A and B are shown apart, each in its own frame.
Chain A
Amino acid sequence: MSELQATPAPAPVPAKTDISAGLREFWHYFSVNRGAVLGLVVFTLLVLVAIFAPLIAPHSPDQQYRDALLVPPMWDALGDPRFILGTDPVGRDILSRLIHGARYSLFIGLFVVVGALIVGVILGVLAGYFGGWVDAMIMRVMDIILAFPSLLLALVLVAILGPGLFNAMVAIAIVLQPHFARLVRAAVMAEKSREYVTAAKLSGASHLRLMLVTILPNCLGPLIVQATLSFSNAILDAAALGFLGMGAQPPTPEWGTMLASAREFILRAPWVVTFPGLAILITVLAINLIGDGMRDALDPKLKRS
C-alpha cells in the first residue's frame, strides 16, 4: 500500500527496548497507512458516541411515538425532521437506537476480546512453556473447538446457557479463544529456547516469572493484531446471534437484534434494515482497517523492505 512512499530510513533499533521509543516507531509505521488512520479516527468517534450516547441521541431509544410508525428518513418526501433516520415499526427513533447500540457493540467487542485473551494466553503459555502432555491436552481441546464452525458452536453454547447478550458474549469468547492459545503457544515455543530465556533461567527465575515476565512480552506483536481482528469478529458474531434471536433480546437496541425485528419490513421500509447493518459494517470496517495497519506496522518483515 504505502510502503513505496519515500520515507527517511528509520532510526536504528535501540539495543535496549524502550517503551516510548517502541511506540514512536510503531506510530511512524502506522501513520503512513492512510486507511489505518481513517479507521482509528472513525473508531475514536464511535467510542465517543458510545460514551456520550444519552447526551447525543435526540430521543430515548425506547420512546415509542405512536403517531410516527415506520416514518422514512428525513430526506425522503414523507420524512419527518424530528426523526433523522426515520422510525421503526413501533415508532422508535432509529438514530437514537443506533447511537445507544454503539455502546453494546463496543462493550461486546471489549468483553469478548479481554475474556478470550486472558483464557487463550494462559492456555497458550502453559502449552508452549511446559510442552509434553500439558501441551497435547490443551491443544487437542483447542482442535476440538476449532473443528466446529464457530457460529454453529456459539449457537449451541447459547442454546445451552440460554439466549441473552451475556451468554452470547461468553459463547463467542469461548469460540474465539483457541486462536489466541495457538498463537501464544507458537510464539512461546519459538522464544523458549532463545538465549535470554536460558540466561533468566540460570539466574534463578521461577516458572511463573519466566512465562509471564521474560517470554510473554516478546510475543505481544501478533497478539495485538489478533486481538484487533477478534474485536471485529466478536461484533459480527454477536450481531449474527442477535439476528438469529439468540443474542441480545428485544427491546435492547443492539444492532443485530434491531435487524432481526426489522426483517419482515425489508420490502416495505428498507431503511429499518439499512441503517443498523450499515452501523455494523462501518464499525467492523474501522476496526479491520486499524488491524491491517497494526499488522503492517508490527511485522518486521514488511518494515525494512
Chain B
Amino acid sequence: MLNFILRRLALIVPTVIGISLCAFFFVRVLPGDPILAMAGQHGVSPERYEILREQFGYNLPIWQQYFNYLGNVLQGNFGVSLSTKRPVLTEFMTLFPATVELALVAMLFAVLVGIPAGIFAAVKRGSWFDQLTMGVALTGYSMPIFWWGLLLIIFFSGYLGWTPVSGRIALTFFLRPITGFMLIDTILYGNWAAFVSALRHLILPAIVLGTIPLAVIARQTRSAMLEVLGEDYVRTARAKGLSPKRVVNVHALRNALIPVITTIGLQIGLLLGGAILTETIFSWPGIGKWMIDSISKRDYVVVQSGLLLIALIVMAVNLIVDVLYAVINPRIRVK
C-alpha cells in the first residue's frame, strides 16, 4: 500500500512543477503591467515605477523571478494581493471554507439523491421510473448551471420569496468565524436564527452546484448496478433463495459502488470549477468568485497563486481518491 502511495506521489512531482510553471508564466503574459495595475487610476511617476519594479523583483530575468516565486511559495509565501494589499494565502484561507461548505453540501445533495435514484432505476430497469430518472439525469447533465441558478432565483426568490438572492447569511448577523463553515459556526454560537438564515442562503447555490454531479452519479450508479446485477454471483445469490432486497443491498450494491466512489471523487475537482459560476450568480464569497474578480481586476498575484493553490488542491483530492480506490479495490494495487 505504502509503495502504491509513494509511486503515485513520484508521478505527481513533475506535474506539480509543470503547474507552477504554467501558473507563473500564464500570468506573466497577461496583457497589462502589474505595477500600473497596482497604482490604479492615479498612475505612478517614472521614478516611483522603477522603485516598485525593483521592490517586487520585476526587473530580474524571468527565470530568476520564477525561482524566487517558487522559493517563496515553498515557505508558504504566496505574495500580496495587488488590490487588497493582503497576503494571498490569508485571503484564500478566509474564502476557502465558504467554497468547501458549498461544495460539500452540494455533493451531499448529489449523493443522497443520485445513488438511490440510480439504484431504483437499475432495479426497475425499463420502467417509467427508470426512463423518467434517466431523462431527468440527462437533462441535469446538459444543464447550463448559470442559467439554472437564475431560474431558481426567479422562482424561489422572486416569485415565492422563500430564499434570499445572494450572500452567505443575512447582514443582520455578525459572527466572528470559528471554523469558517457558516452552518457549524452558527451552531457553535447557539444562534438558531443565524443557522436558519445560513441554511436558506446555502440551499439554492448547493442545488445548482450539485445538479451536474447528481446527474453523473445517478447515471453511473445505474449502469454500475446493471452491470453487477448481471454477474454470476448475483445470480447465485438469487438462486440460493435470498430475498431480492438482500441481493440488491448486500451483494450487488457493494460492488456497484466502487466505480461510483471514484466518480464522486473526480466530481470534487469539477465542483471547484463549477463553483466559479455558482458563486458568481449567488455572490457567494468563495474562491471561485475571488478568482473571477481577480481576473477582471488584473490582480496578477492573486490569479497566479490562486491558480496554483486550486490546482494543487484538485491534485491532492485526486490522489486521495486514487488511494481510497486502492483501499477498497485491491485489484488496482497490483498494476
Contact = CB atoms under 8 A, between A and B. Distances in A.
Contacts of B158: 266-267, 270
Interface stretch (B26-34, B36-44, B80-88): B26-34
A95 interface: no
Contacts of A276: 147
A4 B124 CA distance: 13
B29, B150, B277, B307: residue with the most chain A Cβ atoms closer than 10 Å: B150
Contacts of B276: 149, 151-152, 155, 244
A277 interface: yes
B139 interface: yes
Interface string B52-82: 0000000000000000000000000000000
Nearest to A39: B138
Contacts of B150: 259, 263, 266, 273, 277
A1 interface: yes
A140 B144 contact: no
Interface in B140-190: 141-144, 146-148, 150-151, 153-154, 157-158
Given A149-B272, A149-B310, A159-B30, A143 B15 contact: yes
Nearest to B298: A159
Interface string B266-295: 000110111011001000000000011001
B314 interface: yes
B234 interface: no
Nearest to B303: A156
A292 B30 CA distance: 39
Contacts of A230: none
Nearest to A148: B311
B19 interface: yes
Interface in A53-95: none
B53 to A, nearest CB: 21
B126 interface: yes
A170 B134 CA distance: 33
A233 to B, nearest CB: 10
A289 B29 CA distance: 40
Contacts of B320: none
Contacts of B230: 305
Contacts of B144: 236, 239-240, 243, 256, 277, 280-281, 284
Interface string A102-144: 0000000000000000000000000000000000000011011
A236 B270 CA distance: 14
B154 A266 contact: yes
Interface in B1-31: 14-15, 18-19, 22, 26-27, 29-31
B203 interface: no
B276 to A, nearest CB: 6
Given A160-B26, A160-B29, A281-B139, A149 B269 contact: yes
Contacts of A159: 30, 295, 303
A147 B273 contact: no
Nearest to A288: B142
A274 interface: yes
A159 B135 CA distance: 37
Contacts of A143: 15, 18
Given A277-B151, A285-B139, A240 B146 contact: yes
B104 interface: no
Interface in B206-243: 230
A228 interface: no
Contacts of A285: 138-139, 142
Contacts of A240: 144, 146, 277
Contacts of A259: 146-147, 150
A289 B314 contact: no
B181 to A, nearest CB: 22
Contacts of B310: 148-149, 152
A96 interface: no
B315 interface: yes
Interface of B: 14-15, 18-19, 22, 26-27, 29-31, 125-126, 131, 134-135, 138-139, 141-144, 146-148, 150-151, 153-154, 157-158, 230, 269-270, 272-274, 276-277, 280, 291-292, 295-296, 303, 307, 310-311, 314-315
User: Which 3 A-B pairs give the minimum distances between C-beta atoms?
Assistant: A149-B273, A277-B147, A144-B18
Given A267-B153, A285-B142, 5 more contacts: A1-B126, A149-B273, A159-B295, A243-B144, A259-B146
